[in-house]
Structure 1
Amino acid sequence: MTVILKRDALIEGWVNVTRVEMLLADGAIVERHVEDHGAGAVVLPYDPIRKVALLIRQPRAAVLISGDEPPLEAIAGRLDGLDPETCARREALEEGGVALLELESVVHLWSMPSISTERLHLFLAPYDTAMRVGPGGGCAEEHENIVAYEIPLAQLAVDAAAGRLTDAKTLILVQALQLRHAGAF
């Protein structure tokens, strides 16, 4: 049986990093570091009539450090004490300017269980042009610099098959949409 022997907070704030000492089942004691910034909700809004999905792009320091361009992403945000559905709707309005009604749960997953406590609630959500009620772009005070794009579902299917959707949560949602609502493509 594996047990945690000791925890030391290294960083506390928007993101928390803890040094953990674990006793493994084989008797070894190992050190690990764990990142924690809270659970989140992710939503892929899609218009089944116009056959498009609403995705965003925003500056991501980790991606830029690696030398890549920020990927297209499904809309996402931290729960911050909200239930997952409320959070998904809030983020969709803030980031994409779309007021969502119906949400279809896909999965509640670990994003990086090797290092992070983050669990994400993933949703699909149909929308139409009448539901585009704002500019999107994220919260100005948070300096998110988000740009929203409507991408043809056919293009997303091609990009998924070709390995060009490099954000894992987005890839999962596009593939779930293909499986559950093939007619939208």
Structure 2
Amino acid sequence: MKNELLNVETRCEGWTTLSVAGIRLPNGQILQREVEDHGVAVAVLAFDPERKTAILVRQFRAPPFLTTRQEYTLEVIAGLVEDSDSVASARREALEEAGLHLRSLERIGAVWTIPGVSTERMTLYLAAYQPSDRIAKWGGVVTEHEDITVIEMELSALAALMESAELVDMKTMGADASPKIASP
């Protein structure tokens, strides 16, 4: 016998959808789980292999603020996938969030961000850039209330943030752990 999805009841629809799923386990036990769904996502760590720098974004995130009053998080460029094309979505997010034109992207992998609660599956990419690829200085889409500060930092400084546990964003840690970034 396999796990069986019995029902899904939507409780809230907005930027995210909150549902309750009824599931029968192989042993016959029935459980209910709350599930958050806001779509498939992408994240990209843009780095300059020549200058040994990376572009990250600093932005307000409501959940960390709610739980710890952390004002901002430092993260790789990320966003939701539109039209099921993760590469195009990564390029769009890089332009919207960091004013950065990405040429080629290298897929690192795809991960479940919070598998115990969320349906979000995020594809992680690396993308080399050059100073000329920074075609704008803006940060974020006004209608999405994105007040983003674009930060270019040395890869050694990014590694130091990871070592000191000051970098707290999981997708950024996952992308930064790539061997290509560790020794570009």
- TM-score normalised by the chain length of structure 1: 0.94
Pick one of 75, 80, 83 that aligns with 2:82. 80
Tell me if 1:109 matches 2:111: yes
Unmatched tracts of structure 1, length 5 or more: none
> What are the Cα deviations for residues 35-79 of structure 1, in whole angstroms up to 9, with x where unaligned?
111101110100111111000011100010012232210000101
Tell me if 1:128 matches 2:130: yes
| Equivalent in the alignment of 1:31 | 32
In the alignment, is the contact (CA less than 8 A) between 1:160 and 1:175 conserved in 2? no
In structure 2, give the amino acid aligned to 1:93. L
SS in 2 for 1:42: strand
RMSD of aligned alpha carbons:
1.2
| Equivalent in the alignment of 1:63 | 64
Identity among equivalent positions (%) equals 38
Report the number of matched residues.
182
Pick one of 128, 138, 141 that aligns with 1:139. 141
Pick one of 151, 158, 161 that aligns with 1:159. 161
Deviation at 1:181? 4.3
In structure 1, give the amino acid aligned to 2:174. I
SS in 2 for 1:115: coil
Deviation at 1:142? 1.4
Q: Which runs of 4+ in 1 moved over 4 A?
A: none
| Equivalent in the alignment of 1:21 | 22
In structure 2, give the amino acid aligned to 1:127. Y
Pick one of 79, 89, 92 that aligns with 2:91. 89
SS in 1 for 2:107: strand
- C-alpha distance in 2 between matches for 1:14 and 1:140: 16
- C-alpha distance in 2 between matches for 1:183 and 1:109: 23
Unmatched tracts of structure 2, length 5 or more: none
Deviation at 1:82? 4.3
In structure 2, give the amino acid aligned to 1:155. A
